[in-house]
Amino acid sequence: MMNLHGCPRCNGAVVQYGPPSFDSDMCINCGWRPQEIPADVLELVEAHAGKAYLEDRTGHSRIGTGKPPLSGWDRVKRRRQRESMSGASSAVAM
């Protein structure tokens, strides 16, 4: 059976594959499926309503920045490469 305009997300068509079960209803446009939230999860949400977002946060952690910084010798090599490239380009310009 198909329920036209039955999707709460996109107002698309919802296909029902027989008797109601976990995988029976699905929107053919966006893939929406009905979700059943367990009672214990609902109790936790209701108990937490109105409280601060996170109660027991740990300290801030530093997010990785990718590559580690260059060592002293690597910095010297890169500086020499830049100087040789800039020296070569200025010599060509003369």
How many domains is the chain built from?
1
* Host domain of residue 32: 2-48
Residue 34's nearest CA partner among 43, 21, 44, 45 is 21
Number of C-beta neighbours around residue 47 at 10 A: 9
In a domain, 63, yes or no: no
In a domain, 77, yes or no: no
In which residue are the tokens 């036209």 written? 4
pLDDT, tens digit, 9 for 90 and up, residues 57-76: 666 666 777 788 889 999 99
The 3-state DSSP class for residue 70 equals coil
In a domain, 74, yes or no: no
In a domain, 62, yes or no: no
In a domain, 89, yes or no: no
In a domain, 10, yes or no: yes
Q: Report yes or no on whether pTM surpasses 0.85.
A: no
For residue 6, pLDDT beyond 60: yes
pLDDT, tens digit, 9 for 90 and up, residues 10-55: 999 988 877 666 567 888 889 888 888 899 999 988 988 887 776 5
In a domain, 90, yes or no: no
